[in-house]
Amino acid sequence: MPNSQKNNSHVNSTAFISFRPAELCIGTQWVVVYYAKNPLSEKMERFRVYVPAVKSQTERKKLGKKMVLEINNKLYSGWLPYYSDVKSSEFKTFEYCKEKFLEQNEKDVKTGLKRIDTLRTYRSFLKMIDLYAKEKKLELKLALHLNKEFVVNYLDWILYERNNTARTHNNHLDFIATFVNYCVHRGWIKENFVKQIPRRKESEKKRKVLPADVKDKVKELENTNFHFYALCMLIYYCFIRRTELTKLKVSDVELVNNRIVLRSEISKNKKTESVTIPRKFLPTLIKHLENAKNSDYLFGEDFKACDIKLKPAKISTTWDKFRLENNIDMVYQFYSLKDTGITDLLKAGIPAIKVRDQARHHDLKITEKYTARNNTFDLDVLNSEFGF
């Protein structure tokens, strides 16, 4: 026998002392079968891992072969199932994990634990991950394929190839951490490796408040597009977020109590809170509410109060059109109304902590630990002399 054959024979004979390689067995059940020697009994024991069902048999066979390769690579590297907590659940398909994750979040939306916007965002993130895998022709059949190397490269793709901001990079990182954590708790992924991936340093938000000449052009809307003007003034005076604004009902406006109530099911932080209606804004709001019913959306179709819900995108497109028609610089975005209102309220001498409550943000973290939010209107905000 040639030396080369003798050497190969020696390698092959020693390779199977502690295990027999995995094989794909197709029958009533699709399983990957392999044998490993029990270090206590010195006997070979059989292990089986079920191949998850997928859309076609061809794809299922490819998946089974991939599982065989994964297991054999571990066996040849010295791994034995007796020294590992690896379970068959680790071979769940990525598609299965996605479906279960979304199903859970759909239930959370129905029970009020999460907002529909959160579910919509999660779907968007998952679609982006699929797009990346498809574009780069990467294997993403199993949950375990979503590993640190995949995620780091995906985040680089988001940041550099798609020219997104550090904030967007971090948003994707936060979502993946949420998804992976969900999978870890169910045994589909071994550990949450996302903790090892650093966040990107975000640049400070550039606040562009509206100068006097732009304010004058916005005031002209009172005559040309009154109900959109009322919406703009609500943002300026009450700092309500765009998506929240489209969900407000007329019944949420309590003119007698000088406040607008943001119910937990529509507020971003899932808490019922209220904001004060300053006296200067009251006449505009009252005029906007003429002939409105309590069951109407505060701002519906064409920005009037009605039973047809306003789409958030229409707010932005209307603002963009207004800005274009009036030759207003693009740096003054729709949320500049909110930033301008906050700035003007502070300039009017209102304590920062009261501005925090009106804006419902968390910038004053230390103060917030000791101060509860208002559950009714605030007299200082109500009587403030700041105006657009």
Is residue 74 in a domain?
yes
Edge-to-edge strands of the sheet including 19-26? Answer: 19-26, 30-37, 44-50
**pLDDT category of residue 85 using cuts at 50, 70 and 90:** very low
Task: Please tell me the predicted confidence (pLDDT) of residue 123.
Answer: 95
Single-letter amino acid code for the residue at 373:
R
Is residue 245 in a domain?
yes
Is residue 207 in a domain?
no
Do 67 and 98 fall within a single domain? no
Range of the domain at 377: 212-382
Average pLDDT in the 233-239 region? 93
Edge-to-edge strands of the sheet including 259-262? Answer: 253-254, 259-262, 273-276
Do 166 and 239 fall within a single domain? no
Cα 386 to its chain centre, rounded Å, is 36
Residues 384 and 149: their CA atoms lie apart, in Å, by 55
* Whether pLDDT at 261 is above 90: yes
Count of structural domains within the chain: 3
Average pLDDT in the 134-145 region? 86
Segment 163-202, tens digit of pLDDT: 898 989 999 999 999 999 999 998 888 888 998 999 998 7
Residues 216 and 21: their CA atoms lie apart, in Å, by 78
Provide the token pair at 127: 């679609």
Is residue 365 in a domain?
yes
Which secondary-structure segment (H or E) carries 156? helix 148-156
Domain end residue (candidates: 132, 163, 196): 196
Provide the token pair at 320: 């963009």
Write the CA distances from 122 to 104, 115, 143, 177, 191, integer angstroms. Answer: 12, 11, 17, 12, 21
Q: Which residues of 226-247 are buried (b: 16+ CB within 10 A; e: fewer)?
A: ebbbbbbbbbbbbbbbbebbbb
Do 45 and 122 fall within a single domain? no
Segment 13-32, tens digit of pLDDT: 444 567 899 999 998 889 99
Is residue 37 in a domain?
yes
What do you get for the CA distance between the two ends of the chain, in Å? 96
Average pLDDT score, the chain: 84
Which residues make beta-bridge pairs with 46?
Answer: 35
Residue at token pair 């909110």: 338
Do 111 and 75 fall within a single domain? no
Residue 216 DSSP symbol: H
* Whether pLDDT at 134 is above 70: yes
Do 329 and 225 fall within a single domain? yes
Half-sphere exposure of 161 (CA within 13 A, CB side): 9
Average pLDDT in the 213-231 region? 96
Task: Please tell me the predicted confidence (pLDDT) of residue 90.
Answer: 56
Task: Please tell me the predicted confidence (pLDDT) of residue 203.
Answer: 72
Strands (E), the chain: 19-26, 30-37, 44-50, 253-254, 259-262, 273-276
Segment 64-75, tens digit of pLDDT: 999 999 899 888
CATH number for the domain including 246? 1.10.443.10
Do 224 and 107 fall within a single domain? no
Average pLDDT in the 303-311 region? 93
* Whether pLDDT at 1 is above 90: no
Is residue 301 in a domain?
yes
Residues 121 and 209: their CA atoms lie apart, in Å, by 29
Listed ranges 241-245, 267-271, 306-310, 349-353; the one with the highest mean pLDDT = 306-310
Residues 298 and 187: their CA atoms lie apart, in Å, by 46
Do 78 and 171 fall within a single domain? no
Is residue 201 in a domain?
no
Do 67 and 101 fall within a single domain? no
CATH number for the domain including 98? 1.10.150
* Whether pLDDT at 7 is above 90: no
Contact 90, 143 (CB under 8 A): yes
Its pTM surpasses 0.75: no
* Whether pLDDT at 205 is above 80: no
Domain end residue (candidates: 84, 103, 130): 84
Do 273 and 340 fall within a single domain? yes
Do 217 and 301 fall within a single domain? yes
* Whether pLDDT at 263 is above 50: yes
Do 369 and 220 fall within a single domain? yes
Strands (E), 206-282: 253-254, 259-262, 273-276
User: Among 263-272, 289-298, 307-316, which stretch is predicted with the lowest mean pLDDT?
Assistant: 263-272
Is residue 202 in a domain?
no
Task: Please tell me the predicted confidence (pLDDT) of residue 141.
Answer: 81
Q: Which residues contact 338 (CB under 8 A, 6 or more apart)?
A: 235, 236, 239, 359
Other beta carbons less than 10 A from residue 45's beta carbon = 12
Do 105 and 15 fall within a single domain? no
Domain end residue (candidates: 19, 53, 84): 84
* Whether pLDDT at 382 is above 70: yes
Task: Please tell me the predicted confidence (pLDDT) of residue 259.
Answer: 94
* Whether pLDDT at 210 is above 70: yes
